[in-house]
Structure 1
Amino acid sequence: MANKRLTPDFIFESSWEVCNKVGGIYTVLSTRAKTLQEALRDKIIFIGPDFWKEQESPYFREETSLFADWQWEAKEQGLKVRVGRWTVPGEPIAILVDFNPYFEKKNEIYGWLWENYGVDSLHAYGDYDEASMFSYAAALVVESFYQWKKENGEWTEKGTKVIYHANEWMCGLGALYLNNHLPQIGTIFTTHATSIGRSIAGNQKPLYDYLFAYNGDQMAGELNMQSKHSIEKQTAHYVDCFTTVSDITAKECVELLDKPVDVVLPNGFDNSFVPSAAKFARKRKAARRKMLDIANALLGEDLDDDTLLISTSGRYEFRNKGIDVFVEAMNRLLRDRDLKKKVVAFIEVPGWVGEPRKDLQERLAQSSKFKAQSSKFNEPLDVPQLTHWLHNMSHDNVLGMMKYYDMHNRKDENVKVIFLPCYLDGNDGIVNMTYYDIVLGNDLCIYPSYYEPWGYTPLEAIAFKVPCITTDLAGFGLWANTVFGHEGQLEDGVKVIHRTDYNYSEVADAIKDTVADFSNMTQKQIETCRKHAEALSKKALWSEFIEYYYEAYDIALRKAKARIEK
């Protein structure tokens, strides 16, 4: 390269999910933090919303000594900030900002946004206002910090290379504010899923076959998404570097936001949470024991370790995450003659959970007393498909579909489906183990997504040596196919099923057949699958993917440099 790549001296990165665990973006940022922190050593600051008035945030540790002079100055300027460390590997600096004071200026801010960037905030509702006020507050934090560094002579306008990285439409307003007020900062915007694409898919409309014909603005009007779509689209057009997380979402951006992305930034992960070989076998055994204990107590059975344990997990988006196809496939598997083992299939998605089942808790307590005899129960509990009671039992999608198919986990059936409708955070009252401590107990994980810009769940599964099934409508599935050079098969560690808008039935059959095939594998074949799964996960470490970020930083810094040299 004739031109040497420009690298940032300082990075600000904002997201609604900094120190705030609500979805997949938390995983993206918190696992990437360590890699950037190692390279930049406290020259990266994450900015998140400060919700933690009364109670302490479990993900944030305040340190009043960090930038103490600036903190004092920020308070003088009326900014309500707390500075500290995000308690994830690498412990990067985080600033939490209280955005509530800006609501009274909301109309003025939206007016400025319309005049300068044509963003339509008239149709705002729900979380739009909250996200926008946070985004504005985050930009004020950057502006204040930048000026402080300049006044102290540490940063010069032309000499210091600064990046502002905004994640999702929620942080768009701040990126546009800085684009306008501090043109010397290079701006990057990442859409992790277009708001309109997710909405089209979630509203049962065909997204992919018809993608070329959709008009994003028109669909935003039809689906009542004008304001979110507007801020997302304008931010994509005005920032220095527009990015997304996979090739599949990049196509959405071109069609729905009328803007091709500059770089695709695939989501890597940090495998420091995968137990070492010595601990792994012990943890896997404990996870399997726990899952089988729950199944036996619920079903009144004596399923042994030869049972195939499979699961799906993620957000409760019934169609988008393919939970419907998962239930369909398990129903078909009930009648499959090639199935050689008993199967317990867990659906681990957080629903509208009421409380853990007392009757199940009692049985589990009883069974741990009598460890010696493996099963104590001959009768199933009522509703043996569910570990926790739900608030909306009669309107729940999973239970409704199982009822429709008459799936009641009967004694003589070889496939049992159990809905575990809560976050596995270690204290749900039934499992009482975290997701990472449970996932490694599976034989097979299944994620038949219809709408999935990337797909962390399959990536986490293979990191724990669990082979998985996904689709080529997930960014991760597409990436796996590219690495393999062919459509992924179970032997590769990841089976990638071709999925379209209309082949739901074929996908369900492919899943059913794959599980049946797996039940016929020898121990040696299974070990090969597990080994290949783990090998693929190593290719998705942040150390491999961070390169794409440096490409994005370079693009943004060059544009900023050109601006201030004009």
Structure 2
Amino acid sequence: MTSQPIDYEKHFLVETSWEICNQLGGIYTVIRSKLPANIEAWGKNYCLLGPLVNKGLNAEFEDIAERESTLGRTVAALENMGIEVRYGTWLVSGRPKTVLLNPDHNIGKLQHIKKQLWEDHQIPIGTDDSLYDISLQWCDLVDTFFTLFSKHEKRTILFHGHEWMVCPALLNTTGAHSNVKTIFTTHATRLGRVLAVNHKNFYDMMYEVDDQELAKQFGIPSIHQLERQGANKTDCFTTVSQITGLECEALLGKLPDQITPNGLNIERFQDPHRIQIRHEKYKKQIENFVIGHFFNATPFDLNKTLFLFTSGRYEYENKGFDIIVKALKKLNEKLIQEKVDVTVVMFFITNAPVKSFNPAVLHSKALLEEVKNTCKSIEGEIAAQLLVNAASSKDDFKLPDLNQFVSDYWRLRFRRSLQSWKTDEWPMIVTHLLQDDHSDAILKGLREEQLFNSPIDKVKVVFHPEFISPTNPLFGLEYSQFVRGCHMGVFPSYYEPWGYTPLECIARGVPTITSDLSGFGSYTENINANSQETGVYVLKRKDKTEAQSVEDLAKMLLQFSKTNYNYRAIMRNTLEEFSRTFDWHKLRIHYDEAYAKAVKK
């Protein structure tokens, strides 16, 4: 049995992030999903520290009145200094104690803070963006918090900060207090993310660039220098994957001291023995959309249809949307050539600037509802008369001609509603009116590959340029329910420091395609050489041309398209078991090892 790297009773962990009680991106998921495992390990020796900026905070926060504990006395001292602070319980799984500091307290000190950062750490004076300024104001308060807390708490304090927004406080605190050790985790370098968007050969060039000069060109010199200093000066530097570690070495000048892969609170997703039932339930709701969207023009057999999807931030090349589009064309050709009796519906789910839902899509849905209501009325009329007919029969026990039980009114109503709904036009690709559909990257790609939802296409495409929510009139599903209803998630990212979307798929028993350029994909390869057998397909993109990646992705999609119902059902159960590998109760040890390294430094 592996020994515990850190003694939880002899240390106090303060996990700090701009995204505590303030959801902006993936860091929120990391911290929140890790809470049950952290609370189980650290108990009362743990708290969160974040910004007081969420206007809807009261719905998920309960204040604590006590001011006797070391944490309580620190909060009282902050209050006595006139700083607006909230101390309480974040009402999420684990119920962690949380301290939130209002950065507006330091509006008047901003220029002084910038000057001090330049003098102490050579951070360029500037305004990279609005978040940069407000995070500096907040970090000055975070620095004050640790100065006070280190006087009240005699045990070793572990100041664990996530992302560049915490770096000013990390730099000021490192070495300033004998009982405070600092840990910095970057989940993706800011410069790396910008470069990956702007350069297709990012991984080839990252060791050759002048990172300081490029940071200036992209308008982020201060943020980049904060990250670089944070990586090199804190007591322990970590990142989420080996591939991001190489990025850190190239752009920040430091290999991480520890790799800390991301996990989930898997128990929240597990649903033993009901995984197939839930898949079928939510698949039916997706089928309802598909019927309304496609069947008025090009109906197909739903029993021989697979629902695939991709989702995430709208970064056309970074997220692999570009090669998905090209692979779909090849898949379409292969399905037709090989006469594979299956239809694939591919959903692109991302956020793009939109005007509104496409009225034609909503109109088609409304007309289908009219057809459904008419069918229900006819069903009721037939049932009532069939019962009378059956009860009245003597020797004839055959099922009569049901048409005789439908009145002329409902016959006419049925024909009219069906004629109103049916059309000769091909089904639309995008469900909304985009702000600029002419230059939209996904639509341009689909046009280039001539994927138009034609009657002969075996691959159908739906571009939904908003994230799925239960208020959505097209699906009426939570995003998590939509995922469960699909057959596969496709995420062949080019730049993805970790990648929660494929991990969330396998946690729900949904097979997924990831890439070896994503943190999740490379980690999965390292722990399971035969990951495809568990339902995780890792596309090789490292050292491959785009054409090779497209061809390999098309082959993966074709292979999956040929699987049968029973095989996919077994795979869903296998995936659910495999997903436990990524439970925070197992992965937390990597952070514990980082804390131990910080203490020993």
Do these two structures clear the TM 0.5 threshold for a shared fold by scoring above it?
A: yes
Q: Cα distance 1:427–1:50, how it changes in 2: closer, same or farther (>3 A)?
A: farther
**Residues 355-407 of structure 1, C-alpha deviation per residue, up to 9 Å, x if partnerless?**
33444344435545627969964337787112233333333221222233332
Q: Cα distance 1:461–1:185, how it changes in 2: closer, same or farther (>3 A)?
A: same
Which structure has the greater CA radius of gyration? 2
**Residues 435-455 of structure 1, C-alpha deviation per residue, up to 9 Å, x if partnerless?**
111101111111010001111
2:528 match: 484
Percent of pairs with identical residues: 29
Q: By how many angstroms is 1:243 displaced?
A: 0.3
**Residues 289-320 of structure 1, C-alpha deviation per residue, up to 9 Å, x if partnerless?**
22222222222344414311001111111111
Matches within 5 A, 1:94-243: 94-122=98-126, 124-147=128-151, 150=152, 155-156=153-154, 160-179=155-174, 181-243=176-238
1:332 match: 330
SS in 2 for 1:51: coil
Aligned mates of 1:257, 1:181 — CA distance in 2: 23
Residue 267 (1) aligns with residue 262 (2): yes
SS in 2 for 1:293: helix
Aligned mates of 1:143, 1:201 — CA distance in 2: 38
Q: By how many angstroms is 1:495 displaced?
A: 1.2
Give the RMSD, CA atoms, in angstroms.
Answer: 2.6
Aligned mates of 2:374, 2:528 — CA distance in 1: 46
Amino acid at match of 2:324: F
Aligned mates of 2:465, 2:220 — CA distance in 1: 29
Aligned mates of 2:135, 2:426 — CA distance in 1: 43
Bigger mean CA deviation after superposition, 21-30 or 351-360: 351-360
Query: Contact conserved, 1:34 with 1:89, CA < 8 A, in 2?
Result: yes
**Residues 251-294 of structure 1, C-alpha deviation per residue, up to 9 Å, x if partnerless?**
11112111121110000111233252355334322321222222
Q: By how many angstroms is 1:66 displaced?
A: 5.0
Query: Contact conserved, 1:63 with 1:84, CA < 8 A, in 2?
Result: yes
Which residue of 424, 432, 437 maps to 2:468? 424
Amino acid at match of 2:509: K
Aligned mates of 2:527, 2:5 — CA distance in 1: 29
1:83 match: 87
Query: Contact conserved, 1:200 with 1:206, CA < 8 A, in 2?
Result: no
Q: TM-score, normalised by structure 2?
A: 0.84
**Residues 331-376 of structure 1, C-alpha deviation per residue, up to 9 Å, x if partnerless?**
2222112443101000111222333344434443554562796996
Amino acid at match of 2:515: T
Bigger mean CA deviation after superposition, 314-323 or 220-229: 220-229
Query: Contact conserved, 2:293 with 2:365, CA < 8 A, in 1?
Result: no
Query: Contact conserved, 2:104 with 2:137, CA < 8 A, in 1?
Result: yes
SS in 2 for 1:418: strand
1:564 match: none
Q: By how many angstroms is 1:72 displaced?
A: 4.3
1:308 match: 306
Q: Cα distance 1:253–1:70, how it changes in 2: closer, same or farther (>3 A)?
A: closer
SS in 2 for 1:556: helix
Structure 1 runs not aligned, ≥5 long? 560-566
Residue 437 (1) aligns with residue 481 (2): yes
Structure 2 runs not aligned, ≥5 long? 377-416
Aligned mates of 2:441, 2:375 — CA distance in 1: 37
Query: Contact conserved, 2:13 with 2:158, CA < 8 A, in 1?
Result: yes
Bigger mean CA deviation after superposition, 452-461 or 379-388: 379-388
Which residue of 582, 589, 596 maps to 1:540? 582
SS in 1 for 2:89: strand
Q: Cα distance 1:511–1:373, how it changes in 2: closer, same or farther (>3 A)?
A: farther
Amino acid at match of 2:437: M
Aligned mates of 1:129, 1:517 — CA distance in 2: 50
**Residues 57-111 of structure 1, C-alpha deviation per residue, up to 9 Å, x if partnerless?**
65x3132425466544422212112223323221212222211221321121112
Q: By how many angstroms is 1:113 displaced?
A: 1.3
Aligned mates of 1:546, 1:529 — CA distance in 2: 27
1:530 match: 572
Residue 62 (1) aligns with residue 62 (2): yes
Query: Contact conserved, 1:208 with 1:501, CA < 8 A, in 2?
Result: no
Q: Cα distance 1:366–1:182, how it changes in 2: closer, same or farther (>3 A)?
A: farther
1:48 match: 50
Query: Contact conserved, 2:127 with 2:133, CA < 8 A, in 1?
Result: no
Query: Contact conserved, 2:493 with 2:515, CA < 8 A, in 1?
Result: yes
1:354 match: 355
Q: Cα distance 1:182–1:356, how it changes in 2: closer, same or farther (>3 A)?
A: farther
Q: By how many angstroms is 1:180 displaced?
A: 5.2
Aligned mates of 2:310, 2:487 — CA distance in 1: 12
Q: Cα distance 1:194–1:292, how it changes in 2: closer, same or farther (>3 A)?
A: same
Which residue of 449, 452, 457 maps to 2:501? 457
SS in 2 for 1:277: coil
SS in 1 for 2:438: helix
Q: What is the count of residue pairs matched by the alignment?
A: 546
1:318 match: 316
Q: By how many angstroms is 1:502 displaced?
A: 5.8
Amino acid at match of 1:326: I
Q: By how many angstroms is 1:20 displaced?
A: 1.9
2:382 match: none
Aligned mates of 1:75, 1:532 — CA distance in 2: 53
Query: Contact conserved, 1:309 with 1:443, CA < 8 A, in 2?
Result: yes
Bigger mean CA deviation after superposition, 61-70 or 185-194: 61-70
